């Protein structure tokens, strides 16, 4: 079980950039094709930008053409949680970090491979740590 990270609003604002705060704490979405990790092909791990928990890895990343980093599955089962999202006039499944409850993006049932899932994640919600020697 992951220890939860709980900060008050002023602490989150101090820790995160304005864009990160908007995405991670307010459930915002960055514009398609603008995120720094959409086209990243390096081997490594993707961490929650708010708390540093490993949430995705490059082995499960693929180019969905959506304009956001896309993954077939999280790094481990327990690192993300899913919530029903009925905002924007549609029903979606929100993906949040299990440690800090930061909004990462959404998951859709239109992905490739055995999972059939597409985790559509905001670059602003992520930090990237390259594999040793993959810089």
**Is 88 contained in some domain?**
yes
User: Residue 88 sits in a domain of what CATH number?
Assistant: 2.170.150.20
Residue 70 to residues 40, 41, 119, 133: CA-CA distances in angstroms? 11, 12, 5, 24
**Is 7 contained in some domain?**
no
Q: Kindly report the pTM of this predicted structure.
A: 0.92
Examine the pLDDT at 131 and tell me if it is beyond 90.
Answer: yes
The pLDDT value given to residue 36: 97
Q: Domain range spanning residue 59?
A: 38-130
Average of per-residue pLDDT across 99-109: 97
Residues forming the active site: 120
**Is 109 contained in some domain?**
yes
Provide the mean pLDDT of the chain.
94
**Is 116 contained in some domain?**
yes
Q: How many domains does the chain have?
A: 1
Q: List, for residues 22-45, the tens digit of each pLDDT value.
A: 999 999 999 999 999 999 999 999
| Residue 23 φ/ψ region, left for φ over 0, alpha for ψ in the -120 to 50 degree band, beta for the rest | alpha
The pLDDT value given to residue 91: 87
Examine the pLDDT at 1 and tell me if it is beyond 70.
Answer: no
Q: List, for residues 47-100, the tens digit of each pLDDT value.
A: 999 999 999 999 999 999 999 999 999 999 999 999 998 887 888 999 999 999
């Amino acid at each position: 079980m992951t220890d939860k990270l709980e900060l008050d609003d002023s602490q989150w604002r101090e820790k995160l950039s304005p864009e990160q705060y908007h995405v991670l704490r307010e459930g915002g979405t960055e514009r398609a094709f603008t995120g720094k990790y959409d086209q990243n092909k390096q081997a490594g791990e993707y961490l929650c930008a708010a708390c540093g928990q490993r949430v995705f890895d490059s082995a499960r990343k693929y180019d969905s053409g959506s304009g956001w980093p896309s993954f077939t599955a999280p790094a481990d089962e327990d690192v993300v949680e899913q919530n029903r999202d009925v905002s924007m006039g549609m029903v979606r499944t929100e993906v949040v970090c299990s440690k800090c409850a930061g909004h990462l993006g959404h998951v859709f049932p239109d992905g490739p491979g055995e999972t059939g899932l597409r985790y559509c994640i905001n670059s602003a919600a992520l930090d990237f740590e390259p594999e040793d020697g993959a810089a």
